[in-house]
Structure 1
């Protein structure tokens, strides 16, 4: 009779490739990685417990809200299939005579944080090893594109500085925008940077955004006249020194009612920088459109799903609606004491 499948974990001091030997059922292990690095989530099995050609391995990422887990990678025999946003960023090396089915994730992002399941199926018993990925260091702020309520391409350089400041941020540097581009920012509207240049980041080349034959990268208009030329702006916000939250209310609110509701809760209405920092750096996810301090309505989605943001993680922009209409809730920001 074939022996029961078990997972062997070997522990080393290096984060991202640590294992510790234990028997089934193993306890979750924690792996740490820096933002933008590559990391390996460990998972092994005893080759003697698997019949030739019968190995099936499935990696999934646990949903924090108790909904359906996110598929990452499936191995059946020699065939591997990856899913969704993980795409070509994940891989493993495995065969019937190789007991290592550890998962490597390249270019780690904050969105990759969480618990992963390595499920090994041998036809006799399914064994699951849990691995918790923590992402640290690296990025300590977030870059976000911004245009005011009166429309795109309406800011000279001084206006751009004020617009970012009003939203609790500063005009981003080239290095900050470059790092955000490497982390996936794709935006087809040109914006001021703090050196007086105007640029925009493209990860998916296409005709309206600098041409489809050009490579991904930062498209640059070079230095522009700071007084006469008008564009959008890229702002940079540091990590939060407080928390952003959705204020539960019995009814929809006008803008003024939203402002007062946050004040009544000993907070302030959240600024655009607050919602971007909470989303990008803290993984904030909420599928409710709410007022922000600039009069815009937005909502943060870290886990794409139907009816929220089906194709990408993003801070979704709704509009600058009539401030007198009772159509939305509100996001508040409460600073640390």
Structure 2
């Protein structure tokens, strides 16, 4: 009589310790599937649930697995283990394919093509090279053997800086699509809630609501006051909830990371109009710098300059890392002088040159 098809319950896909030896037989470490007269055991371990790197560098997302086929017949060939990596999004129904491998065959997808590698056939870990801002986020590692599978997640975080942004038109002029474009134009992406939260914990205080990458609108307050949610409220992230991506208009919080290039203030014999500033950078072998490039230089490199200068969006700003009299006396910050008339010859210029 044929043995019935059975599926027995597994307890966990995560390891409680680092014992990968033959004596690790505690059933909580494994998923066990019984199909007719065949059984297999599979476990997974994420050593580092959060990996921190920066744009332009490499990052290894750890995912170790334990696989022990238990064939009934000596001549039985064990099934191959399939490794699959996907990137999770704020839309829980949508995942982005990153990498898949089966034996010696593998494939990477989309923007990850040519940048993702698995170096050890006994390890599901992958390395992503030449990181971009868009690579930030949560990744799922899935190990599949037959009808059995285990999963784990890793957050790929980037060193960087969150900054609020609004265009020349003024505050609350951008829907979500326009906000995405605005951040992209400033060498940045729309910040996630987690990135804004980390910025708030580091002291960020901003009283204007802005889009975040999940489509919500929020703003960080460290010093409660009347125009910003009320004087008697507690510090925190104020939320307007999820808004209509087309009809509703707000500012945006952008995120940028390390850049491959040189950000600098161009020494010039006189002040410049906006058009003259653009040409001056070109003549120097560079381009006029973007807002995100100034924030990255200020936050990650400690760039400090008490000279107001034009940036690519037509704004005038200057970065202060060492507060002092007449140069942001009270705090380290990127100072904003507005969007002046582009014909005014009142400012210098900040340039950026790729390596």
| Aligned length, in residue pairs | 202
2-side partners of 1:139 and 1:165: how far apart? 17
Structure 2 segments unaligned to the other structure (5+ residues)? 1-51, 53-156
2-side partners of 1:280 and 1:307: how far apart? 20
> 2:196 corresponds to which residue?
177
Q: State the structure with more CA Rg.
A: 2
2-side partners of 1:183 and 1:245: how far apart? 26
> 1:164 corresponds to which residue?
183
Shift of 1:261: 0.6
SS at match of 2:178: helix
Contact 2:158–2:257 (CA under 8 A) maintained in structure 1? no
Pairing partner for 2:252 from 233, 249, 252: 233
Mapping 1:305-320, distance limit 5 Å = 305-320=324-339
Mapping 1:120-159, distance limit 5 Å = 140-159=159-178
> 2:349 corresponds to which residue?
330
Pairing partner for 1:275 from 294, 302, 308: 294
**1:22-45 CA deviation, whole Å, 9 max, x = no partner?**
xxxxxxxxxxxx9xxxxxxxxxxx
1-side partners of 2:167 and 2:238: how far apart? 22
1-side partners of 2:158 and 2:213: how far apart? 19
1-side partners of 2:161 and 2:295: how far apart? 7
1-side partners of 2:343 and 2:231: how far apart? 43
**1:142-195 CA deviation, whole Å, 9 max, x = no partner?**
110000001000001011011111111111100111111111111000000010
SS at match of 2:352: strand
SS at match of 2:271: coil
Pairing partner for 1:302 from 312, 321, 325: 321
Pairing partner for 1:201 from 206, 209, 220: 220
SS at match of 1:327: coil
CA RMSD of aligned residues (A): 1.7
Shift of 1:231: 0.4
Pairing partner for 2:309 from 266, 279, 290: 290
SS at match of 1:219: strand
Shift of 1:308: 1.1
Mapping 1:102-121, distance limit 5 Å = none
How high is the TM-score relative to the length of structure 1? 0.58
2-side partners of 1:247 and 1:222: how far apart? 43
SS at match of 1:257: helix
Structure 1 segments unaligned to the other structure (5+ residues)? 1-33, 35-137
Pairing partner for 1:248 from 262, 267, 271: 267
Shift of 1:299: 0.2
How high is the TM-score relative to the length of structure 2? 0.55
SS at match of 2:337: strand
Pairing partner for 1:189 from 208, 213, 223: 208
